[in-house]
């Protein structure tokens, strides 16, 4: 009799195991993948998320480490604004280009400017000059155009000239381009690490 109970227990465990295996092998239709047959083998093609592997940054001294950490902090603070600028440009540029009269274009720009001032004026006032410089670089990165070019396209040459003069007074340059391979290499590395969630 004991052998029968052992046998039934064994059957229950085996049937549960096969039930789980069968359940695990139900075809998942939510993720359709491309495949191709090569030499009798099916090769599945699936796009996977890019993974960044970077060596841990080494510093010559504590001062360099602190300088780098301050730069990381500033990038984290201004990057959302640069992303917002890129998104807004992508959203409103087609609308702006479709408008025929200069009056409509000016009205759209004035409304957007007022909306941005109402929402971000206090935060922008609290930014340091160095954070403003980083923001200008990152706007160029996101919009693929310098701040000078953007102002000139949307507000006119005189406004671009005026704001370039103001920027020069504070040691900035609206015409400076973002150079991820050259002088902005460290900035690009930090932005990439922030975007993928490492920092």
Which of the four pLDDT bands, split at 50, 70 and 90, describes residue 9? low
Full domain range(s) for residue 115: 62-195
pTM attached to this predicted model: 0.66
- Residue 179 in any domain: the answer is yes
**Is residue 26 assigned to a domain?**
no
Tell me the pLDDT tens digit for each residue of 65-102.
999 999 999 999 998 988 888 888 888 778 877 777 87
pLDDT band at residue 15 using 50, 70 and 90 as cut-offs: low
25 has a pLDDT exceeding 60: no
Number of domains in the chain: 1
Residue in the block written with tokens 């000239």: 161
Task: Give the model's pLDDT for residue 24.
Answer: 47
> What is the rounded average pLDDT of the residues 150-169?
81
User: Looking at the domain assignment, is residue 13 inside a domain?
Assistant: no
Confidence of residue 55 (pLDDT cuts 50, 70, 90): confident
Q: Is the dihedral of CA 50, 197, 131, 149 positive or negative?
A: positive
- CA dist 87 and 108 (Å) reads 16
Q: Which residues contact 36 (CB under 8 A, 6 or more apart)?
A: 42, 43, 45
Q: Which residue, 85, 57, 1, is CA-closest to 189?
A: 57
Distance CA 103, CA 123 (A): 30
């Amino acid at each position: 009799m004991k052998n029968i109970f052992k046998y039934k227990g064994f059957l229950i465990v085996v049937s549960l195991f096969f039930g789980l295996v069968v359940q695990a092998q139900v075809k998942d239709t939510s993720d359709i993948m491309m495949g191709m047959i090569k030499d009798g083998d099916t090769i599945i093609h699936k796009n996977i998320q890019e993974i960044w592997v970077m060596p841990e940054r080494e510093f010559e001294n504590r001062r360099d480490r602190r300088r780098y950490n301050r730069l990381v902090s500033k990038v984290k603070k201004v990057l959302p604004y640069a992303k917002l600028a890129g998104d807004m440009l992508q959203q409103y540029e087609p609308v702006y280009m479709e408008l025929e009269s200069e009056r409509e274009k000016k009205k759209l720009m004035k409304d957007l400017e007022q909306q941005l001032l109402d929402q971000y004026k206090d935060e922008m006032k609290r930014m340091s000059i160095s954070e403003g410089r980083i923001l200008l670089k990152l706007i160029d990165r996101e919009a693929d155009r310098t701040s000078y070019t953007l102002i000139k396209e949307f507000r006119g040459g005189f406004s671009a000239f005026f704001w370039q003069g103001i920027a020069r007074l504070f040691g900035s340059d609206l015409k400076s381009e973002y150079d991820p391979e050259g002088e902005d290499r460290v900035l690009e590395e930090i932005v990439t690490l922030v975007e993928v969630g490492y920092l």
